[in-house]
Amino acid sequence: MEKRKIIIDTDPGIDDTYAIIAALKYEGFDVQGITVVAGNVGLDNCVNNALGIVNLMDAECLVYPGAEAPLKLLNENKTYTLDGLVHGESGLGTVQLTPDFSKKSDTHAVDYILETVKENPGEIEIIALGPLTNIALAIQKDKETMKKVKKIWSMGGGVRYGNRTPVAEFNYWADPEAAKVTYDEIGEEVEISMIGLDVTQQTRFNLDDLFFLRTECGELGALLGEMSNHYMETYWNALRITGVIVHDLVAVMLAIDPSLSSEDDVFERVNLQMECEGICAGQSVVQFTPNETEAKNATVYMGIDNVEFKKAFFQLVFPEYYTMYKKYILS
């Protein structure tokens, strides 16, 4: 199997951790590097969490610190703060991973992305699990190089609803200007797949899944199970649902196997516009049948098979326990 060259751009994050582990486990990916952006928590915590994940998985790739604030705040020299810690103070609930600081690069994430794309034109796929700030900064610095990205998988946005506001999903709400730059400037040249709340909220790890993960899937499963405890409390307190929605994992699993979504749930060459101001800031507005004057700058996923998604995850990350999972949890 010829491995696909991947850059993971992320803001770890409990769901990012699930996603990065899955990406590192998949033999079809050659993860070139992990670039980090402020999002779920501040940049320093996100970088330390990424270094902890790399250490946990004994991965060879380096971690590249990137933007410490959204575009608008960077331009105004303001500091990024987040009110409401869905992922806990550190970003990983009550879990503390041990960072491997030898894997921290001195190269800025934006420069790393551009250098890697220049060296591998038409080959690099970016899986973006956080705000698109690093991607937008790279576009602003060298748009022609960024047009040579093979594909971007972006966990963000939502057509029908939001989770940070009634219309805005968190990643796009956190930096709507960056999302706008990304889709407007390179969306017609580079396929950008938006994997938003319409898809991710069709998935859920229920209490049976999490119990099995915690008790039967070894040290790694126990760690992910413990990490999910804080997430579960957040979902119950905010939405009165049990279990967790692991949003970023959905983007990675679809990047691995797009057939988890049916052809009828994938809309190619649609028009996506970002709202950056006012009460609707962060909203991704999708025109599924764009006219001749509207840019065809996005592919939008709208559905997924939840059972097949979970089966694919357990088979990939915990293959030795997969038969038991199918027999006792899915039966």
Q: Among all residues, which ones are annotated catalytic?
A: 11, 247
Q: What residue spans of 104-196 are helical by DSSP H?
A: 109-119, 133-141, 143-146, 170-174, 176-186
Distance CA 179, CA 308 (A): 30
Distance CA 39, CA 46 (A): 8
* Residue 99 dihedral angles phi and psi, to the nearest 5°: -70, 145
Beta bridge pairs of residue 29: 4
Residue with tokens 């070894």: 218
DSSP conformational letter for 261? S
Distance CA 331, CA 42 (A): 41
Distance CA 295, CA 185 (A): 10
N- to C-terminal Cα separation, the chain: 32
For the CA atoms of 160, 162, 163, 169, what is the dihedral angle to 10 degrees? Answer: 120
